[in-house]
Structure 1
Amino acid sequence: MFHASVPSRVAGGSDISLLLDQLSHCCSRPRYAFMLLTLIADVARPDGSAGPVVRVEDGLVPLRDWLCDALAPMGQRDPRRMALVERVREELRRDARLSGDAAEDEAAVQDEVRARVRASGKTNLSRAASELVKAGLLKRHYQGYRVDHLNRGAQRQAVYTLTGRARALVSARPTPARPAARPRQGDLFAS
């Protein structure tokens, strides 16, 4: 009587449920990997690729930075994050980098915490992306200018493309409705 219908196009479940099952078998952190895939799908072009930059308000942000910032709120209540905030506050106090103004000091602490969380988030992001590449759910390449020195990745930004079952996340997005175009003068009498 109160059963949800499962689409019959895929035997055994929907595309998303099969994706979740695959993530549970191939990723050490399947929920984190699913959040990552979902965020990539949110900014992906119709071909499933996202990056190297994402438009945020009036500016452009590298995709990896945007992903790290988007995932950062997930750890707000984590005891390690709270300990990091206190550790940063103590370090800034010890280095005499706090002004004494409560609002200004809190902003300085939050900026430093955000920078540290972004740096560690990039490591987590790379690890999850590598697992997704191995699972055939993501392709990764780099785009941009390459400077010839020891760090061959300099000035290149990541581009991620959803593949395999992860493509279901792109097609599941609702497409924004376009306003009807007004006919042009030459089109009025065309038959």
Structure 2
Amino acid sequence: MFHAPVSSRIPGGSDLSLLLDQLSHCCSRPRYAFMLLTLIADVAKPDGSAGPMVRVGKALVPLRDWLCDALIPMGHRDPRRMALVERVREELRKDERLTGDATADEALVQDEVRARVRASGKTNLSRAASELVKAGLLKRHYQGYRVDHLNRGAQRQAVYTLTGRARVLVGAPRQTAAPPTRPRQGDLFAA
């Protein structure tokens, strides 16, 4: 179902154009899926895997949190996001958590908005990742400490690996050229 041949739709297309075409046919939100794949490729190892943690400055952040935070700016002009900011500001005002200092209050509002957007962003991220797994562009597994618990997450963190056409986003591994060697006597005419 999700593995329709795309080479016939774009004759002579590049790997990237074939990836975009595949995303347009297998994902409900192809632009979001492409941004997600690109961000994963940005922090991926040469084998295409990213996670479970991403280094941000001196701290380690779970991959899913980092992806959500990286995608937060994409919705800053969305009317729903602006309404959320006003709703959070009003809730903080009612709870008397605002100090009156405009800078400190704005930072408090933005922190609360970021936390709420991250929570809802994880749902969007999981939905897009599931579509990409079905399309054969991503593999997902969990890594880390596991405790006996019904929740499959249970203190484990997601690891995503780019597969199929998505590997084009990782790029070619860097190869170091071997230093040129001088031919030895007898090697010049060896067949």
Matched letter for residue 99 of structure 1: T
Match of 1:31 in 2: 31
What's the TM-score once normalised by structure 1's chain length? 0.84
Match of 1:160 in 2: 160
Give the aligned CA root-mean-square deviation in angstroms: 1.7
Aligned residues, how many? 167
Say which SS state the counterpart of residue 171 (structure 1) adopts: coil
Q: Deviations over 1:106-161 (max 9, x none)?
A: 11100000000100000000000000000000000000011112323121000000
Match of 1:137 in 2: 137
Match of 1:66 in 2: 66
Alignment partner of 1:126 is 2:126: yes
Q: Distance in 2 between matches of 1:135 and 1:151?
A: 25
Q: Distance in 1 between matches of 2:172 and 2:93?
A: 49
Q: Deviations over 1:6-62 (max 9, x none)?
A: xxxx95200000000000000000000000000000000000000000011111100
Q: Distance in 2 between matches of 1:90 and 1:128?
A: 32
Match of 1:115 in 2: 115
Match of 1:98 in 2: 98
Match of 1:189 in 2: none
Match of 2:13 in 1: 13
Q: Distance in 1 between matches of 2:57 and 2:107?
A: 21
**Residue identity (%):** 87
Q: Distance in 2 between matches of 1:158 and 1:97?
A: 35
How far did residue 172 of structure 1 move? Answer: 5.8
Runs of 5+ unmatched residues, structure 2: 1-9, 177-191
Match of 2:48 in 1: 48
Match of 1:6 in 2: none
What's the TM-score once normalised by structure 2's chain length? 0.84
Q: Distance in 2 between matches of 1:156 and 1:149?
A: 11
Say which SS state the counterpart of residue 146 (structure 1) adopts: coil
Matched letter for residue 115 of structure 1: A
Q: Distance in 2 between matches of 1:40 and 1:152?
A: 22
Q: Distance in 1 between matches of 2:63 and 2:38?
A: 14
Say which SS state the counterpart of residue 170 (structure 2) adopts: helix
